[in-house]
Structure 1
Amino acid sequence: MSERLAERKRTERRRALARFGRWAAVVAVAAGALWAFFMSPLFALDPAKVELSGMSNEIDATAVTGVLASHDGESLALLNVPHVADQLRDIKGVLDAKVERVWPAGLRVTLVARHPVAAIASGTGFALLDADAIQVGLADQAPADLPLVTVPVGDNRVLAAVLEVIRNLPADLLGKVSGIGAQTEDTVSFDLKGGPHVEWGSSGDSALKAQVLEVMLASPSAATAGVIDVSAPTLPITRAAG
């Protein structure tokens, strides 16, 4: 009986050791897989595998390269992708950024650039502004393809009203604007290349005002009008200059 009990205990120990061995093997495999996923060079960010699109002259390319280079070699699994996108959005000329992992070791980075929509006198040159009044460039002379903005110095509310009008003008109409300005938020006006002068008023109802202005410009009276007033778009008027 004692021999049978001893044998039974030895069998149970062998089974326990076998179970422990199997669990140890599973844990080792899992640990190896985790190491490979999080720490292996196989999943380390490779700068040669970064796909970058959306660059433009307004974006600081050196700064973009610097942000991406600061993450070279980091585990793609551990990389804080939203943080990288925020870093890119802080770069001059970047409106938005989207960052996606491309396994096993790459990134897909898509940038949206800020583009100038107007120029404004600044010092001895001209600051190029986007639709949010963010400076995206400088020029020695006013660019021929951008409207020149004139507003009271330092009045951000009036500047915002002017840029709101620019943002709502159809592209073909905006291309004809040579200069635009205002003294108050409700007195926006602009000059079209070759005339006439347009009194726009506030930035409210800009979509309707644009439609009315295009109709009036196509009418015979526009050829002799010095001023077209669409500040009250349901009652537009034309008059001689001055």
Structure 2
Amino acid sequence: MNEARTSRRGTAPGRPDPRPREPEPGGAAAGRRPHRWKAVCVALLVIGVLGTVAWVLLGSRLLVVRSVEVTGTELAPRDRIVATAGIRLGLPMVRLGTGSVEARLERLREVESATVERQWPATVRIVVRERVPVVAVERAGRYHQLDRYGVTVTDGPSRPPALPTLSAASPGPTDASTLAALKVIGELPGGLRTRLHGVEASSPDTVTLRLRDGLTVVWGAAGRSAEKVRLIDALRASPAGRDARTIDVSSPEFVTTR
């Protein structure tokens, strides 16, 4: 009887045995070992590549500064630009702090802005934008040339013939009268600006232009430049204004001549 019951509970011929089989010793573990070794090899390869790149960039002599190029300089000597930049030859290119170099260069009075570029593999290029003199101010026998911001760009013993002179109480970048006069000059059309001989600014609202042909233009405050220029041109073309020595356009609604 026991044998019969056992045969009935057994597996029918031709059917798979549903009972789980015992795993073969070392089967799954042996399958995982190649994957582990592959991951270790890949990690070592990545570390090796990163180490090689770091050595090339930081430790080798392959990518270091070998030359410094300077463009855009006329007022500032190239040697002074290079000395102020302070870029050491042989420095790894990746270690070059371009921002700090630009900041040092922009402290030079002739430099309005500077851009430092890496040109791989071994050249640093400095692009300088110099300040442009707009007016000349006479101080103690020397003529100081100011840019559009009132910053002194350079100075010399003689008056620059191409620049108008500026007369103000305290010419400089923090003087409101100076800045008003410079703004007026910047808004003038090219034809009128080239005829400008001098500018007086007793206050920010009282700017006066003196032209090379002897005409004086009481400009007033900065602003409404296009309207004022049209009035000046119209008056100079008319019989009434042709012989005028002074034109007052400080209030464009009430223009006067004398």
- Report the TM-score, using the length of structure 2 for normalisation: 0.78
1:53 alignment partner in structure 2: 71
Q: Which moved more, 1:63-72 or 1:163-172?
A: 63-72
Give the deviation of 1:171 after TM superposition.
Answer: 2.2
Q: Which moved more, 1:68-77 or 1:134-143?
A: 68-77
1:30 alignment partner in structure 2: 50
CA distance in 1, matches of 2:237, 2:124: 51
Structure 1 stretches lacking a partner, 5+ long: none
Give the deviation of 1:229 after TM superposition.
Answer: 1.0
Give the deviation of 1:232 after TM superposition.
Answer: 1.3
1:43 alignment partner in structure 2: 63
Aligned residues: 233
1:164 alignment partner in structure 2: 183
1:77-226 matches, within 5 Å, as 77-153=94-170, 156-226=175-245
The percentage of counterpart residues that share the same residue type is 28
Give the deviation of 1:40 after TM superposition.
Answer: 2.5
Residues 143 and 29 of structure 1: is their aligned pair in 2 closer, same or farther, counting only changes over 3 Å? closer
CA distance in 1, matches of 2:178, 2:42: 72
Give the deviation of 1:154 after TM superposition.
Answer: 6.0
Give the deviation of 1:68 after TM superposition.
Answer: 3.6
Q: Return the letter of the residue paired with 2:213.
A: G
Alpha-carbon deviations, 1:159-195, whole Å to 9, x = none? 2211121121122211111111022221111211112
Alpha-carbon deviations, 1:76-98, whole Å to 9, x = none? 22322222222221112001112
Preserved contact between residue 37 and residue 43 of structure 1 (Cα < 8 Å): yes
Q: Return the letter of the residue paired with 2:44.
A: A
Q: Return the letter of the residue paired with 1:214.
A: D
Preserved contact between residue 63 and residue 91 of structure 1 (Cα < 8 Å): no
Give the deviation of 1:224 after TM superposition.
Answer: 0.4
Q: Per chain length, whose mean CA-contact separation is higher, i.e. which structure has more relative contact order (CA < 8 Å, sep 6+)? A: 1
1:10-25 matches, within 5 Å, as 20-21=40-41, 23-25=43-45
Preserved contact between residue 125 and residue 138 of structure 1 (Cα < 8 Å): yes
Give the deviation of 1:149 after TM superposition.
Answer: 1.1
Residues 211 and 113 of structure 1: is their aligned pair in 2 closer, same or farther, counting only changes over 3 Å? farther
Alpha-carbon deviations, 1:35-72, whole Å to 9, x = none? 1133322221221xx34221112x25333111344343
Structure 2 stretches lacking a partner, 5+ long: 1-23
Structure of higher CA gyration radius: 2
Q: Which moved more, 1:217-226 or 1:86-95?
A: 217-226
Q: Return the letter of the residue paired with 1:97.
A: A
Residues 154 and 36 of structure 1: is their aligned pair in 2 closer, same or farther, counting only changes over 3 Å? closer
- Report the TM-score, using the length of structure 1 for normalisation: 0.82
